[in-house]
């Protein structure tokens, strides 16, 4: 296991290029399982979640070759074998293997997904969708057995706007008989990206990116080549880091529309944000203003940026109120920020930050991916050395973050945690 060490207080300046979107890629790789031919994914992020998915795919018979941000998947010999619990548990998006396997084989046996613990993360809407399509879903010893004689299109109203359920039902429905309509669907850009891949594979999908998606089932899906959209959450994280420590940071390979909510909030803090065709320049300012922030489904402020944004707000003057409506318990970073000297409290889905605080570098633990991002932002701002354990969460979703930050001028490095150190951390 690794820890990240940050010598704080170094200004950031220069350019950084954004990788392909994790939350697209983790759905696109399972979607490739449904093709009767090679699927090539380009602009693939080099992150641990993708490595884990590749191993799971190989475990059920896929031929997977990854090289230089490109993955070639041949799923011809895939069989609907049970998916091993250990690997499935390593990431949230393993739930997409349910929709993909069910769509292609009308059968999936898979352990419950893992990923970041952000409070309860039920998958009842995924199951509701599979059942509406005609599948039986049984939980046996912690694994879901999902099977159907045939899948038939249906009208499915999602009781909760869910990214995962929207994509999963879309995947299961593309080879169902007849038409499926998903109402109250999520509208995140990653959903459009998955629909684009499936359409290029031969699926018939209309309305992705709106709250009603119509899918007319087809007999077969073919191979194709698809380039993954840029990661708006990674881009947002560097925008926040730029606001925290930047004189001028330019972030390349981004889609401006995907970051409107963050742009508006950063401008409210006084940070300079200037957009170009596919890049953005963030100009840091000495005094940041406190703001009010509420996370919402897309195009609202993304919950995935709430944690790093909260860290940034420890530097702002006044009282910032952060309300996470998607994951009201997504505040595990807050205690760690407080250990660094932030004045921050939480109650019932809300964090209140009073600033500005002079953060001090200490040893902190990332409990989840974006908590890690928050602690990295805090570490960049802090006086002295911050040591972040739990870096494995960060590695799930940020490609070479230590290199990218170093390139911008941060003093950041990764070190292996010794057994003895691990014991000490666990006992502390």
Ligand X SMILES: CC(=O)N[C@H]1[C@@H](OP(=O)(O)OP(=O)(O)OC[C@H]2O[C@@H](n3ccc(=O)[nH]c3=O)[C@H](O)[C@@H]2O)O[C@H](CO)[C@@H](O)[C@@H]1O
Give the interface segment with ligand PEP, choosing from 86-94, 207-215, 273-281, 314-322 (CB under 6 A): 86-94
Q: Is 224 noted as a catalytic residue in this protein?
A: no
Q: Specify the residue for token string 């879903």.
A: 137
* DSSP state letters, 278-332: SEEEEE--SSEEP-EEEE-STTSB-HHHHHHHHHHHTTEEEEEEEEESS-TT--H
Gap between the Cα atoms of 411 and 42, Å rounded:
31
Longest dimension (CA), the chain: 63
Query: Residue 115 CB, nearest distance to ligand X (Å)?
Result: 7
Binders in 313-372 for ligand X, by CB under 6 A: 326-327
Instruction: Report the residue from 41, 54, 57, 116 that binds ligand PEP according to the rule CB under 6 A.
Output: 116
Is the peptide bond between 299 and the residue preceding it cis, with omega within 30 degrees of 0? yes
Which among ligand X, ligand PEP, none contacts residue 162 (Cβ within 5 to 8 A by kind)?
A: ligand X
Which among ligand PEP, ligand X, none contacts residue 327 (Cβ within 5 to 8 A by kind)?
A: ligand X
Q: Specify the residue for token string 């899918």.
A: 215
189 makes contact with ligand PEP (CB under 6 A)? no
Catalytic one among 116, 132, 243, 344? 116
Binding flags for ligand X, 165-184, as an x/- string (CB under 6 A): x-------------------
Query: Residue 289 CB, nearest distance to ligand PEP (Å)?
Result: 26
Instruction: Report the residue from 234, 304, 324, 399 that binds ligand X according to the rule CB under 6 A.
Output: 304
Gap between the Cα atoms of 133 and 147, Å rounded:
11
Sequence-ordered list of residues with C-beta below 8 angstroms from that of 215, at least 6 positions apart, any chain: 153, 170, 173, 174, 176, 179, 180, 181, 182, 203, 204, 205, 206
Other CB atoms closer than 10 Å to residue 216's CB: what's the count? 16
Query: Residue 13 CB, nearest distance to ligand PEP (Å)?
Result: 27
92 makes contact with ligand X (CB under 6 A)? yes
- Binding-site residues, in ranges, read 22-23, 92, 121-125, 304, 326
Gap between the Cα atoms of 145 and 282, Å rounded:
48
Please report, as ranges, the residues that interact with ligand PEP according to CB under 6 A.
Answer: 22-23, 91-93, 115-116, 118, 304, 369-370, 397
Please report, as ranges, the residues that interact with ligand X according to CB under 6 A.
Answer: 23, 26, 92-93, 121-126, 160, 162-165, 186, 303-304, 326-327
């Amino acid at each position: 296991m690794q820890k990240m060490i940050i010598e704080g207080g170094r200004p950031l300046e220069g350019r950084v290029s954004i990788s392909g979107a994790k939350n697209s890629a983790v759905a696109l790789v399972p979607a490739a399982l449904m093709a009767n031919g090679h699927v090539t994914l380009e602009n693939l992020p080099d992150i641990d979640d993708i490595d884990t998915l590749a191993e799971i795919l190989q475990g059920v018979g896929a031929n997977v070759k990854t090289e230089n941000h490109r993955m070639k998947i041949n799923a011809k010999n895939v069989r609907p074998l049970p998916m091993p619990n250990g690997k499935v548990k390593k990431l949230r998006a393993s739930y997409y293997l349910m929709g993909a396997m069910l769509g292609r084989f009308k059968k999936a046996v898979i352990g419950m997904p893992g990923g970041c613990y952000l409070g309860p993360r039920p998958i009842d809407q995924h199951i509701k969708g599979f059942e509406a399509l005609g599948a039986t879903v049984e939980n046996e010893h912690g694994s879901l057995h999902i099977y159907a004689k045939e899948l038939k299109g249906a009208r499915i109203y999602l009781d909760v706007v869910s990214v995962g359920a929207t994509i999963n039902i879309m995947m299961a429905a593309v080879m169902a008989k007849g038409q499926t309509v998903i109402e109250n669907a999520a509208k995140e850009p990653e959903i459009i990206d998955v629909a684009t891949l499936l359409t290029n594979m031969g699926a018939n999908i209309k309305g992705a990116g709106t709250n009603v998606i119509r899918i007319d089932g087809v007999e077969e899906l073919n191979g194709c080549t698809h380039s993954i959209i840029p990661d708006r959450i990674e881009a947002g994280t560097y925008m926040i880091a730029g606001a925290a420590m930047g004189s001028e940071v330019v972030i390349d390979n981004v889609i401006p529309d995907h970051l409107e909510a963050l742009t508006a909030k950063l401008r409210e803090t006084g940070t300079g944000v200037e957009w170009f065709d596919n890049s953005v320049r963030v100009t840091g300012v000495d005094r940041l203003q406190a703001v009010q922030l509420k996370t919402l489904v897309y195009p609202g402020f993304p919950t995935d940026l709430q944690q790093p944004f909260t860290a940034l707000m420890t530097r702002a003057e006044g009282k910032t109120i952060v309300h996470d409506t998607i994951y009201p318990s997504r505040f595990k970073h807050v205690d760690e920020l407080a250990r660094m000297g932030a004045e921050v409290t939480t109650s019932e889905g809300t964090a209140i930050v009073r600033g500005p605080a002079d953060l001090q570098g200490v040893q902190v633990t990332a409990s989840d991916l974006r908590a890690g991002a928050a602690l990295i932002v805090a570490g960049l701002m802090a006086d002295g050395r911050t040591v972040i354990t739990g870096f494995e969460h960060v590695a799930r979703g940020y490609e070479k973050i230590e290199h990218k930050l170093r390139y911008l001028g941060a003093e950041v490095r990764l070190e292996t945690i010794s057994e003895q150190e691990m014991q000490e951390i666990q006992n502390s």
